[in-house]
Amino acid sequence: MKEPIDVVETRNTLGEGVLWDDIGGRVWWTDIQERRLHRYDRETRDLETFDLPERLGSFGFVEGCGKIIGAFESGFAFYEPETSSFEWLARPPHGAGNIRFNDGRVDRRGRFWAGSMVEGEGPSAGKLYCFDASGSCEAMAHDIAISNSICFSPDGGTMYFADSPRRVIHRYDIRPDGRLSNRRIFVTTPPGAFPDGSSVDSEGCVWNAHWGAGKLVRYTPAGKIAETIDLPVSQPTCMAFGGDKLDHLFVTTAREGLSEQDLARQPLAGALFVYEVAVPGLPEQRFTVRA
């Protein structure tokens, strides 16, 4: 088992959506179920926590300001942690009371993508949305149970996406206008390993968190396994490249659904783990605002 270079014992119920801020030099992530946003400085080990008005599934940084754009449980909004200012941007109808937003990321053209998910029983009524600087919010894919693994190739021409219960990560071609086409299977994960959050490194390889299996897996652009990292917890959720050289992998994890016996075996469940990797990542694109 590869040893982490840092562990932040936050005991998150459902840590998710981790991102590295290359301007501020800090890592951010959300604890969805506790309605919290965390910000951590590895140099000072200072951890700040912001309470949120709704559960936050995922977010992106906004160019030119201190705001984030968030996929909150009921819609898209700007949120500024320092002032707690909050501005709704779009609240597309979910169609059922047990649907909320989940995974998301800003693409290489500065648009924010986020998908919704079904909590508990019910039809696969989730959707994948694209929100752009014009304020357009359009569903680009439908019939989804749990949206995850949203990430983009270095050239921005490919999007990776998973409907987690189906254990398949798909890849799509993205046209400049954001339209998706040519869906095909990228990888199928093993039984008991559900594809959660993903990130793409500078060689175009896709790192994916295997929820339930306690692994991070690096896939080549051809879908072959190039590397794995075993974690001391069973529910990794997402990862982001960070640090001065973007060669640190920040990994969020969850305690949600674990029994007392599970937690006794996994005392670090819900922590943020940091690993050093050989191939660096890419800077996170910021959401483009209209001039």
Q: Evaluate whether 71 touches 58 at the Cβ level (below 8 Å).
A: yes
Q: Evaluate whether 131 touches 76 at the Cβ level (below 8 Å).
A: yes
Place of tokens 């069973």: 234
The residues, any chain, with a CB within 8 Å of residue 7's CB and separated by 6 or more, are: 268, 271, 272, 273, 274
Which amino acid belongs to residue 232? P
Longest dimension (CA), the chain: 54
Say whether 107 is catalytic. Answer: no
Give me the CATH topology for the region 6-276.
Neuraminidase (2.120.10)
Tens digits of per-residue pLDDT, 26-64? 999 999 999 999 999 999 999 999 999 999 999 999 999
Rounded to whole angstroms, what are the CA distances from 6 to 153, 205, 289?
Answer: 28, 24, 35
- pLDDT grade for 226, boundaries at 50, 70 and 90: very high
Two structure tokens written together for 124: 């696969």
Tell me the pTM: 0.97
The confidence score (pLDDT) of residue 157 equals 97
Mean pLDDT (the chain, rounded): 97
Closest CA to 172 of 206, 161, 103: 161
The residues, any chain, with a CB within 8 Å of residue 207's CB and separated by 6 or more, are: 198, 199, 200, 201, 216, 217, 218, 219, 239, 249
pLDDT at residue 291 tops 60: no
pLDDT at residue 153 tops 90: yes
Rounded to whole angstroms, what are the CA distances from 10 to 127, 144, 248, 249?
Answer: 31, 30, 19, 17
Q: In this predicted model, which residue has the larger pLDDT, 289 or 125?
A: 125
Which amino acid belongs to residue 227? E
Tens digits of per-residue pLDDT, 180-211? 999 999 999 999 999 999 999 999 999 999 99
The CA distance from 100 to 98, in Å, is: 7
The confidence score (pLDDT) of residue 1 equals 77
- The residue annotated as part of the active site, out of 107, 196, 244, 247, is 196
For the chain, give every domain's residue range. 6-276
- The C-alpha torsion from 230 through 234 and 240 to 246, rounded to 10°, is -20
- pLDDT grade for 290, boundaries at 50, 70 and 90: confident
pLDDT average, residue stretch 72-94: 96
The CA distance from 10 to 3, in Å, is: 18
